[in-house]
Structure 1
Amino acid sequence: MTLLRRLVLWLLVLSGWAGAHEITFSHVDVRLDQGNTQFTVQLPIKALLHEQPSPLPAGTTAPLLRNAPLSTEVQTAFTALVTARLRLTAGAQAVPLTVTAAEPAGEDVKLTLTAPALHGNVNLEANLFPEDTLHKVFVNVYRGEALVGQYALDRQNAALTLTAPPQPLWAVITTFVRQGVHHIFIGVDHILFVLALILLGGGLRAQVKIITAFTFAHSITLALATLNIVVLPSRLVESVIALSIVVVGVHDLWQLRRAQPAAQGRDLRVVFAFGFGLIHGFGFASVLADLDLPRQALAWSLAAFNVGVEFGQLCVVLAAPVLLALRRYAPAQVTQGVLGAAAGAVVLIGGFWLCERALSVPL
Structure 2
Amino acid sequence: MKAQWLQYLKLGLLSFLGALLLWIASATPSQSHWADLSVAEIVVGQTKSDLTLTFPTGLTAFADDDRNGKLSASEVRTHQSQLQKFLSEQIRLVSRNDRDGTLTSVQPFDAQPSAQATLPTNLPIAPDTHSTLRLTYTWTQPIQALTVNYNLFLPGVSTASCLATIRQDQRIQTFVFSPDNREFSLQPSAWQQIWSFLGLGIEHILTGYDHILFLVSLLLLGGGLKSLLKMVTAFTVAHSATLSLAVLDLVSLPPQWVESAIALTIVYVAAENFWRKSVKGRWQLAFGFGLIHGLGFAGILQEINIPRVHLALSLASFNLGVEIGQVAIVTIAFLGLRQLRKMPWEPYFRRWISAGIVLIGLLWFVQRTFA
Q: Following TM superposition, by how much is the alpha carbon of 1:6 offset from its aligned partner in structure 2, in angstroms?
A: 0.9
In structure 2, distance between residues paired with 1:23 and 1:343:
25
Work out which of the residue numbers 27, 39, 64 in structure 1 matches 2:39.
27
Q: Secondary structure at the match of 2:275?
A: helix
Work out which of the residue numbers 155, 163, 185 in structure 2 matches 1:162.
185
Which residue is equivalent to 1:246?
267
Aligned AA (1:159): R
The answer to whether the 8 Å contact 2:198/2:320 transfers is: yes
Q: Summarize the Cα distance change of 1:180–1:123 in structure 2 as closer, same or farther, 3 Å threshold.
A: closer
Q: Secondary structure at the match of 1:98?
A: strand
Aligned length: 335
In structure 1, distance between residues paired with 2:17 and 2:164:
41
Q: Following TM superposition, by how much is the alpha carbon of 1:279 offset from its aligned partner in structure 2, in angstroms?
A: 1.4
Work out which of the residue numbers 39, 44, 66 in structure 2 matches 1:58.
66
CA-to-aligned-CA distance 1:287-344 (integer Å, 9 cap, x gap): 21233211110011111111111111111221324434544xx25x423122222222
Q: Following TM superposition, by how much is the alpha carbon of 1:120 offset from its aligned partner in structure 2, in angstroms?
A: 5.3
Work out which of the residue numbers 350, 353, 368 in structure 2 matches 1:357.
368
1:23-102 aligned at under 5 Å gives the runs 23-24=33-34, 25-33=37-45, 35-43=46-54, 47-48=56-57, 53=61, 55-58=63-66, 71=73, 74=76, 77=79, 81=83, 84-85=86-87, 86-89=91-94, 94-99=100-105, 102=108
**Residue identity (%):** 30
Aligned AA (2:109): E
Q: Summarize the Cα distance change of 1:3–1:96 in structure 2 as closer, same or farther, 3 Å threshold.
A: same
In structure 2, distance between residues paired with 1:254 and 1:270:
17
In structure 1, distance between residues paired with 2:42 and 2:188:
14
In structure 2, distance between residues paired with 1:16 and 1:252:
20
Q: Secondary structure at the match of 1:254?
A: coil
Aligned AA (2:41): D
1:115-264 aligned at under 5 Å gives the runs 115-116=138-139, 117-119=142-144, 122-127=147-152, 134-147=159-172, 149-154=173-178, 156-157=179-180, 159-162=182-185, 166-255=187-276, 260-263=277-280
Work out which of the residue numbers 296, 306, 326 in structure 2 matches 1:313.
326
**TM-score, normalization by structure 2:** 0.77
Range that drifts further, 106-115 or 221-230: 106-115
In structure 2, distance between residues paired with 1:175 and 1:12:
31
Q: Following TM superposition, by how much is the alpha carbon of 1:181 offset from its aligned partner in structure 2, in angstroms?
A: 1.2
Q: Secondary structure at the match of 2:63?
A: coil
Aligned AA (2:278): P
The answer to whether the 8 Å contact 1:26/1:41 transfers is: no
CA-to-aligned-CA distance 1:166-186 (integer Å, 9 cap, x gap): 212222122212211111111
In structure 1, distance between residues paired with 2:327 and 2:247:
23
Q: Secondary structure at the match of 1:27?
A: strand
In structure 2, distance between residues paired with 1:151 and 1:79:
29
In structure 2, distance between residues paired with 1:359 and 1:262:
34
CA-to-aligned-CA distance 1:227-253 (integer Å, 9 cap, x gap): 122222222222221221111110012
Q: Following TM superposition, by how much is the alpha carbon of 1:190 offset from its aligned partner in structure 2, in angstroms?
A: 0.9
The answer to whether the 8 Å contact 1:79/1:99 transfers is: no
Which residue is equivalent to 1:103?
109
Q: Summarize the Cα distance change of 1:208–1:103 in structure 2 as closer, same or farther, 3 Å threshold.
A: same
Aligned AA (2:175): Y
Q: Summarize the Cα distance change of 1:240–1:103 in structure 2 as closer, same or farther, 3 Å threshold.
A: same
Q: Summarize the Cα distance change of 1:75–1:129 in structure 2 as closer, same or farther, 3 Å threshold.
A: farther
- Structure 2: 5+ residue runs without aligned partners? 1-9, 111-122, 127-131
Q: Summarize the Cα distance change of 1:227–1:196 in structure 2 as closer, same or farther, 3 Å threshold.
A: same
In structure 2, distance between residues paired with 1:325 and 1:211:
20
1:8-23 aligned at under 5 Å gives the runs 8-19=17-28, 22-23=32-33
In structure 1, distance between residues paired with 2:286 and 2:278:
18
In structure 1, distance between residues paired with 2:68 and 2:339:
56
In structure 2, distance between residues paired with 1:301 and 1:175:
9
The answer to whether the 8 Å contact 2:33/2:208 transfers is: no
The two structures, once aligned, show a CA RMSD in angstroms of 3.2
Q: Secondary structure at the match of 1:253?
A: coil
Which residue is equivalent to 2:358?
347
